[in-house]
Amino acid sequence: MHKPLYTILLGLLCFACFSCEKKIPTPLPEEEGIDDTPELLVIFPPNGPGDNGYLDKVLSAVSRFSIEYPGRVRILQTTEANTDSFGGSLLLPSIDYITMDEAQDDTTLAIFVGTEFKEILYNSDAPEGKMKVLLLEDDGVGAPEWLHTGKIERYGASYLAGAMVEQQRAVIIAAMPGDPVLERSIAGFKKGYESVKGREVDSVYYLADDFKGFTMQRRARAIVDSIQQNDMLSYYTIFPLAGAANIGTYSGLYEATFMQAIGMDNDYSAISDNIPFSINIRIDAILQEYLEQWHATKQLPKRRFEGLDSEYVEFVFNPTWNSTETFFDWEDEDQIWSEEDWDVVLTSEFWKQRYEQFIDKAIEEERKYARY
């Protein structure tokens, strides 16, 4: 039985964590006349902004909108306490300061950021009044008619990254098992890695059993250190899929000799010379387009799905990669080195060539895998 969406929202005031606008008993003079009826509500998952990646980009786009339209934005975050309240599902934070009358009179857009909210939204009735709801990170397959969805698919980018680094041993460090976005990225990287010479990824490490893994930087760093200590003579590439915890992976590169990591969701070239390239997911750009369209027309596409062949997935090559001349020319990480090999120091041009070699195949594979 579906629960009314508004009933769920209105019943959860105690779970609201923060709002971008604090209540002030007496408005300051310059605030007089500002319309504080929310036009935009943004609901983050428990791990929230602060990941220096996807969620921070969402916050950046929302912040730009809030600067242009003061008083029209509310930002909320669910908490860990939410997970045990309704049959173990993540609950939506309360937004009950928007009264039923306001919802009827003014059109409000509620944006839920992440697949954590999929189950409860898919099993809710349509919101009352004029409120519209957008779920990010969902492909919209099987979504209720009233729910709008938007997603940037990562399967193709992950496939491409796997194919590009197949000469080295590879491991994946992911926040948690079962998350649809993470599992699709893992599947893509494995498929791309195996596609060239049939080798398999060494290991997939999960930092936790739930969303806590997205913030476990020390655990990620410990895994990197363990890999380095157990095998100091092999080249390794780490594919990090753990949100804010990826910082722990990158910090481990400073003491690693033959280890590199791929930058995820953002350009991490400045973090380390041992990051050959980054996969920049431009959710901020696509969300900015959503918000501009919404503000102008109060309309949204029912379903939007972007992938590797769009401008919203970008490979950024690190110009200072291998400045320490650690990585040399290779055909295979098990090859027998010759003196000529040691004379060929790799630069970022190597990765650009690998990108061009596998990009078309990666797009083709994503189209087969993903539901367009």
Considering only 21-30, 84-93, 183-192, 219-228, which range has the smallest mean pLDDT? 84-93
Burial class (CB in 10 A: 0-12, 13-18, 19+), 188: buried
| Shared domain check, 272 and 159 | yes
- Residue 21: CB atoms within 10 A of its CB come to 14
Residue 75 belongs to what domain range? 3-22+36-152+283-306
| Shared domain check, 204 and 163 | yes
| Shared domain check, 85 and 45 | yes
Alpha carbon dihedral 347, 186, 363, 247, in 10-degree steps, equals -40
φ and ψ at 361, to 5 degrees?
A: -65, -40
Instruction: Please tell me whether the overall predicted TM-score, pTM, comes out greater than 0.85 for this model.
Output: no
| Shared domain check, 293 and 246 | no
* Model confidence pLDDT, tens digit, residues 28-76: 445 444 455 667 889 888 777 777 788 899 999 999 988 888 767 888 8
| Shared domain check, 336 and 205 | yes
254 inside domain:
yes
Please state, in angstroms and rounded to a whole number, the distance separating the CA atoms of residues 51 and 49. 6
* Model confidence pLDDT, tens digit, residues 265-284: 999 999 899 999 999 999 99
293 inside domain:
yes
104 inside domain:
yes
